[in-house]
Amino acid sequence: MLAEYVRYLTKMNLSSDISTMFSIDPFRSCAQTERHEFLQICNPVSKTINKGQVLLERIDQQNGLYVLVEGSFTSEILSPSGRQVQVRRVPAPSLVAVTMLFLQEGGEQAYAELAPAVAIRADSDSRYLFIPKAEIRQALHAIPCLLDSYLSFLSARFHDLSGRYAFLTLGSIRRKLALFLLESADGQGRNGSGINTWPEIRLGMTVQELAARFAVERPSLSAVFAEFEKNGFIERTGRGRLRILDLVSLEDIVST
């Protein structure tokens, strides 16, 4: 028992990184005793990576869990046009490439037929914890609350990623922007209220970041914003904020 406690304290010498890991989902729900049990099973290793280096060529070929504790990563895919597109920027702290961790052997081909290859690249000099797949699997079997939290986390992540990829397959910039505005209104309280205007929404990102998400050039997206404003669909109300004046017209753009 003493040897196990000494082992636990040794791991806690990584106190800053370990504390960061337990501050995010799916680990934050673990009680102190469960965190102790997790660290008895798992042996996180701290690693660093330089800006621009590739962490994973394909997320469906990983052999462990990556917990970003400092810096930032980006996930990149090849869009239908063949262009390398940044789908998501992942700032610390966060789990990285978690969705495909337990893909069954032989499942890579099926996955490749359903979704694009996703690569993970360091967006800045970064530090992360690496935990082997076998240890994570053992911990999930041994700690029920961690398993529940992990599954909930995966569901939320899949929903987010499927929405992001949908933007790349919608076609025109007008449809991408219209859908983004409608989803933003729903996420901020509209929820199919039946009205044709929405007081104000927060974009949550710059036009440049939104253009990267849509896999388009910033001037092209700015032109569509200007078109929507000229046609009376939207009205800018401040930096990163706008009012939707004609929800029905935006819905028509998405449905055509």
Over residues 52-103, the pLDDT tens digits come to: 998 988 765 678 999 999 999 988 766 545 556 666 778 899 998 787 788 7
**Structural domains of the chain in order of their starting residue, each with its CATH number:** 2-169 (2.60.120.10), 173-255 (1.10.10.10)
- C-alpha 13: how far from chain center: 29
pLDDT bin (cut points 50, 70, 90) of residue 191 is very low
Q: How far is 153 from 203, CA to CA, in rounded Å?
A: 24
Write down the pLDDT at residue 132: 94
Q: Report the range of poorest mean pLDDT among 18-22, 77-81, 122-126, 199-203.
A: 77-81
Neighbours of 210 (CB within 10 A): 20
pLDDT at position 189: 52
Distance CA 253, CA 256 (A): 6
State how far the alpha carbon of 85 is from the alpha carbons of 120, 189, 232, in Å: 12, 30, 31
52 or 119: which leads in pLDDT:
52
Give the C-alpha separation, 157 to 155, whole Å. 5
> Which parts of 115-241 fold into alpha helices (H)?
133-142, 144-169, 173-187, 207-214, 218-230
Any bridge partners for residue 235, and if so which? 243
pTM for the whole thing?
Answer: 0.63
Is 50 exceeded by the pLDDT of residue 237? yes
The string over 155-192, giving b where at least 16 C-beta atoms fall within 10 Å of a residue's C-beta and e elsewhere, is: eeeeeebeebbebbebeebbbbbbbbbbbbbeeeebee
Quick check: 22 and 33 in contact, CB under 8 A?
A: no
Over residues 210-216, the mean pLDDT reads 80
pLDDT at 136 (0 to 100): 96
Contact present, 176 and 141 (Cβ < 8 Å): no
pLDDT over threshold 80, residue 252: yes
The single-letter DSSP state of residue 103 is: P
| pLDDT recorded at residue 253 | 84
Whether the ω angle into residue 93 lies within 30 degrees of 0, i.e. cis, is: yes
**Hey, which residues does 46 pair with through a beta bridge?**
129
Alpha carbon separation from 77 to 81, 96, 213 (Å, rounded): 11, 15, 11
